[in-house]
Amino acid sequence: MNMDVLQLLFFAGLAVFLGVRLYMLLGKPSGRTHEDHVREERERAAAAARAPRPVDPAAPAAPGAPSQPASFTGPAAAGLAAIAGADGGFDQGGFVSGAREAYKMIVEAYAAGDKDALAPLLSEKVMAAWGAAIDARAGKNWTMTTEIDRLKRADIVEASLNDNRARVKVAFSADIASETRDADGAIMEGDLTTLKTVDEIWSFERDVTSPNPNWYLAGVRAA
């Protein structure tokens, strides 16, 4: 999942929110004179010029500038801090949001047999295994349908940085209905009318030295 896109959407939404709030606070008539408005605008401009510029966490630090410490929580805090030390753009909340979206995209793409959609999201090893399963299903002319009723949990449970390889494990719990039918419409596996709770640990990996910000699903196991 592209963290830059998530950050862009977040800051875009924040800008809209702040713009509305500023209008509510500053844009309403208050009975002040034109001279009052001009004077206050000059004072605000002078204050803005003196104020420090906000730090973009995704931007490289200036030479000699002190690093901005990040606060991490949960059982994987130490590992997350190590990852953030190597990747200044890493954000725990943004990662979890991206992982939730990736979970839905991957589950739905696998059920649809969409290998093109899966390829940018999976490691080579996982892609090879899942691609073979998709091909086997297609060879039988079977069709799989999966519906995620509710994604109940997405929590980081482990994180580590080994050399340049960052790994984050996320515990997912979801209520899912799934079934597979043959070419005649007969149900071969599952039941779309029955929800089952699926508990799994997904491992995401990324080379922190790579210019590609995407994380890849590198493994799945039962929780």
* Domain residue ranges of the chain, discontinuous segments joined by +: 4-50, 73-222
Task: Check residue 137 and give its pLDDT.
Answer: 97
Which helix (H) or strand (E) segment is 150 a member of?
Answer: strand 143-162
DSSP 8-state code for residue 33: -
CATH number for region 73-222 = 3.10.450.240
Q: What is the pLDDT of residue 14?
A: 38
DSSP 94: H
Q: Comparing C-alpha atoms, which of 3, 207, 209 is closest to residue 218? A: 207
pLDDT at res. 39: 55
Is there a contact between 192 and 181 (Cβ–Cβ < 8 Å)?
no
Distance CA 80, CA 78 (A): 5
CA angle, 166 as apex, 223 and 75 as ends, to 5°?
50
Count other C-beta atoms under 10 Å from residue 26's C-beta: 10
Mean pLDDT, consecutive 10-residue stretches, the chain (223 aa), reads: 44 39 36 52 49 38 43 89 94 94 97 97 97 97 96 97 97 98 96 96 96 95 94
CA distances from 102 to 26, 41, 201, 202, 204 (A): 41, 46, 13, 11, 10
Contact 104, 148 (CB under 8 A): yes
pLDDT reported for residue 20: 36
Q: How far apart are CA 211 and CA 73, in angstroms?
A: 27
For residue 71, what pLDDT is reported? 77
In this prediction, residue 73 carries a pLDDT of: 81
pTM reported for the whole predicted model: 0.68
166-203 in b/e burial notation, b at 16+ Cβ within 10 A? bbbbbebebebbbbbbeeeeeeeebeeeebeebeeebb
DSSP secondary structure code for residue 63 in this structure: T
pLDDT of 70 reads 57
